[in-house]
Amino acid sequence: MNTQTVDIVTQDLVYLRHGDRAMSMRVFRPHGDSPFPAVLNLHGGAWTKGDLNECEPRDVALAQAGIVSAALDFRHAGDGYPSSLADINYAIRWLKQQARSLGIDPKRIGLAGQSSGGHLAMLSAMRPGDPRYAAIALSGEEMDASVRCVGMTWPVINPLSRYRYAKRLLASANPPAWPAGIPERHDVYWKSEAAMAEGNPMLALERGEKVETPPALWFQGRPDPIHDYLDVDSQQGLNEPERFARNYRAAGGTIELTYVEQAERESRVSLETLAAFFRAHL
């Protein structure tokens, strides 16, 4: 399906099949002279729900800024870790392989993701050559899954700490509403705390794992107890955004940590901040 607005053309593609299951990609292309830089855009949903339609505000903002945005559907929920990472890794390589037909520059590819999608974007960028993530062979000329930069909006960067945090709150005398269902979603996708610790950008850095550290943005609303909280198991005494930023910089990466009022986190100004980050690094 192709549709067109005044300044953006969209195209729905199937980038991968798992048996009779088609994995879709929706490409938002600006008018103008190609090749364009491109961003692969990942939805949230606690690794168990959501689809590419949720990426549209970011897709439109990026396309209006002269960047091709490709929203992605990928395996999640009961398919379990690391199925999502395998699909995303393949999608990056496929996008590079199809660069000429899509009017993009294969050397200027970034990743964006929101909430659990932000976690997946960061983990994909940090481990582009992980054999589990790169397990799906690409037909024709092979490509690598490295990216130039990563833009995250309120990511669940540490699945293990969020899981334990939600469980503690639910066991308290007056639990807030938001943790309801969170531990169950983690259990569906991750299966175990060991997997939550292994597929974990925060803990990978603290373990000293050798990873890629492309320029990154963490865009965070406040107050946001779902994504901006203190992990009581950490000795750093920092909320998760600051803790990750410190670890990332210590590993040699650069990261912008930007805070806004929670009510403004999905405003036009916020979308423009994300677009400006990608324009600067792509």
**What mean pLDDT is reported for the chain?**
96
pLDDT of residue 94: 98
pLDDT of residue 270: 86
pLDDT of residue 173: 95
pLDDT tens digits along 66-124: 999 999 999 999 999 999 999 999 999 999 999 999 999 999 999 999 999 999 999 99
Please, which residues have CB within 8 angstroms of residue 203's CB and are 6 or more apart in sequence?
A: 158, 160, 197
pLDDT of residue 186: 98
Residue 2 has pLDDT above 80, yes or no: no
The domain limits of the chain are: 2-281
Torsion angle of C-alpha atoms 105, 91, 42, 219, degrees rounded to 10: -50
pLDDT of residue 245: 98
Binning the chain into helix, strand and coil, the percentages to the nearest 5 are 40, 25, 40
β-strand pairing of 8-18 with 104-114 = unpaired
Q: Give 211-271 as a DSSP string.
A: -----EEEEEEES-TTTS-B-TT-SS--BHHHHHHHHHHHTT--EEEEEEEGGGTTSHHHH
Give the three-state DSSP class for 55. helix
pLDDT of residue 3: 43
Token pair in block for residue 271: 């979308």
Give the containing element (helix H, strand E) for 194: helix 193-198
Predicted TM-score (pTM) of the model is 0.96
The residues facing 201 across adjacent strands are: none
pLDDT of residue 7: 81
pLDDT of residue 5: 43
Residue 165 has pLDDT above 90, yes or no: yes
Give the C-alpha separation, 6 to 104, whole Å. Answer: 20
- Backbone region of residue 32 per phi and psi (left: phi > 0; alpha: psi in -120 to 50; beta: other values): left
pLDDT of residue 269: 84
According to the CATH classification, is domain 2-281 in 3.40.50.10140?
no
Q: Are 58 and 67 in contact, with CB atoms under 8 Å apart?
A: no
